Structure 1
Amino acid sequence: MSPLTYTLVVTGSVYGNQSARTAYQFASSLINQGHRLVSVFFYQDGVTNGTSLSVPANDEFDLANAWQVLAQKHNVRLETCVAAALRRGVVSQDEASQHNLKQHNLANGFHQAGLGSLAEAMLTQNRVVQF
């Protein structure tokens, strides 16, 4: 079987339910099986995966950091829906400047994008899987 290209859509928050962690485990597994993860689109509460301000307890898995490592190691785009992110206080440097905010908190390796990016992924990837 030839490798497939994937985009994942994550709607679960970074902590509080299992959705985002399951998506991360799925992402790792499909990469290990030789498939290519092109992007992860974080939508609704999933945008909280992109904050640089989450600090898990010492004995907890650092999911936000794990996404960053996976993305850097495997050249995966991490995109937060800009509208959903702004509503939940996850703000890029560009958005902070545009809205006259003094601070930004989008984690390194994450980028804000619109739903057009997700639509493009749906048209160009072999599989789109939502968590």
Structure 2
Amino acid sequence: MKFAIAVFAPAHAPASRRALRFAQAVLAEGHEIVRLFFYQDGVHSASANVVFPQDESDIAAQWHTFIQQAQLDAVVCIAAALRRGVLDEQEAGRYGRPAANLPEPWVLSGLGQLHEAAQAADRLVSFGGV
């Protein structure tokens, strides 16, 4: 089965942790993840500047590692990211900001990527939406 996964919650929220565990289970069961799409406050999961206290699990780092190791398509909504200060090199330069905080393998793109993923997948599962 092919899944598209949308994450609306920031890395420190339980919904983000549940989304990560769900994504790991999807792959462990032999299914496919068409795309991970981070939207609204979920874009914070992609920021290289998220720091967790020592007594908490660093879900942002776990997302990053999981995406790299599984070689997944991880898209961050550009409008939501810009609004929340999550920028790649290109956008930081465009808006004259001093630094970028969106590392690879994350990619900024539009909401159309979520629509495309939903069309390509058998199931769209979202975590943390309103």
| Identical positions, percent | 35
Segments of 5+ residues of structure 2 without an aligned counterpart are none
Match of 1:120 among 116, 124, 128: 116
Cα distance between partner residues in 2 of 1:12 and 1:61: 16
In 1: Cα distance, 2:83 partner to 2:91 partner: 12
Q: Does 1:36 align with 2:24?
A: no
> Structure 1 segments of 4 or more deviating over 2 A?
none
2:103 equivalent among 107, 110, 128: 107
CA RMSD of aligned residues (A): 1.1
2:46 counterpart of 1:88: no
Amino acid at match of 1:7: A
Give, in angstroms, the shift of residue 32 of structure 1: 0.7
1:40-59 → structure 2 map (5 Å cutoff): 40-59=36-55
CA displacement at 1:59 relative to structure 2: 2.5
User: What is the match of residue 8 of structure 1?
Assistant: 5
> Which moved further from structure 2: 59-68 or 78-87?
59-68
Matches of 2:34 and 2:17, distance apart in 1: 18
What is the CA distance between 1:38 and its match in structure 2? Answer: 2.4
Q: Deviations over 1:25-66 (max 9, x none)?
A: 100111111111122100001100010001112222111111
Query: Contact between 2:7 and 2:19, CA under 8 Å: does it hold in 1?
Result: yes
CA distance in structure 2 between the partners assigned to 1:5 and 1:69 by the alignment: 21
* SS, match of residue 98 in structure 2: coil
Partner residue of 1:130? 126
Q: Secondary structure at the match of 1:129?
A: strand
